[in-house]
Structure 1
Amino acid sequence: MASINGTVKFFNTTKGFGFITPDNGGKDHFVHISAVQRSGVDGLYENDKVSYDVETGRDGRESAVNLTLLK
């Protein structure tokens, strides 16, 4: 699966989640703090540019994983 580029819409470090808006349009992707930590990213902030993959969880919902910060 090809990675998707997008922009962090918001990320709440207290609640441990946020959303990323994909550059190619479509619905925003949920991102959980555990995916950020597993990716080795120090933190996500509004308007950060990222590359990521989408994973479908056991509940059928999609979320962003394998995040990389873009310059």
Structure 2
Amino acid sequence: MSDRKSSRVVRKKIAATVKFFDEAKGFGFVSPSDGSPDAFIHISVLQDTSYTEFVEGMRIICDLAEGDRGPQVAAIHEPEEGAGASPVGQAVEIEGVVTTFVPEHKYGFVTPDSGGADVFIHTNMLERSEVEMENFGVDTKVKCVIRQGLKGPIADSLEVLQ
């Protein structure tokens, strides 16, 4: 049985701006445009959307619920045709090697074969990419579709190479 109070959606389709989001920890806060208090946002709300990350300043439409510690984002609505989140950067495909992977903290890094900054990977992205975890770890050769995140390159998808 969970100690966590179940959240009930109290406001639907609220415009909000991502105020802060820590990709490594998987949470942050949004500021609703109606002036109400900031709301907690967890990376798990991305799972059923086409969004792959939250970026500071990004505008979203969301449902807010009252959680056990205050307002929280319960769901994110897909952008309508022609609208959408602020673009982060153009996607680029790279090949590289996993140099760090910490499954208990749900993140890792890929070093590109072509050089440059290491690419951040998150286990949610690995699940979306249907990576078989028994074939994944440090020294795995991979192909990633990446784009620029707030703190550097981040993988949107990943394929294990043989």
Please classify the TM superposition score into its range, dividing by the shorter chain length: 0.7 to 0.9
Q: Take 1:2 and 1:30, find their aligned partners in 2: how far apart are those partners? A: 14
Q: Take 1:8 and 1:29, find their aligned partners in 2: how far apart are those partners? A: 9
Equivalent residues, number = 69
Partner of 1:33: 123
Percent identical among aligned pairs is 33
Partner of 1:4: 94
Partner of 2:156: 65
Q: Take 1:69 and 1:22, find their aligned partners in 2: how far apart are those partners? A: 14
TM norm structure 1: 0.86
Gap runs ≥5 in structure 2? 1-90
**Greater length-normalized contact order (CA 8 Å, ≥ 6 residues apart):** 1
Q: Say yes or no: does 1:47 pair with 2:139.
A: yes
Q: What's the CA shift for 1:2?
A: 4.5
The two structures, once aligned, show a CA RMSD in angstroms of: 1.4
Q: Take 1:48 and 1:19, find their aligned partners in 2: how far apart are those partners? A: 11
Gap runs ≥5 in structure 1? none
Amino acid at match of 1:48: T
- When Rg is computed on C-alpha atoms for both structures, the one with the higher figure is 2
Q: What's the CA shift for 1:13?
A: 0.7
Q: Take 1:2 and 1:52, find their aligned partners in 2: how far apart are those partners? A: 8
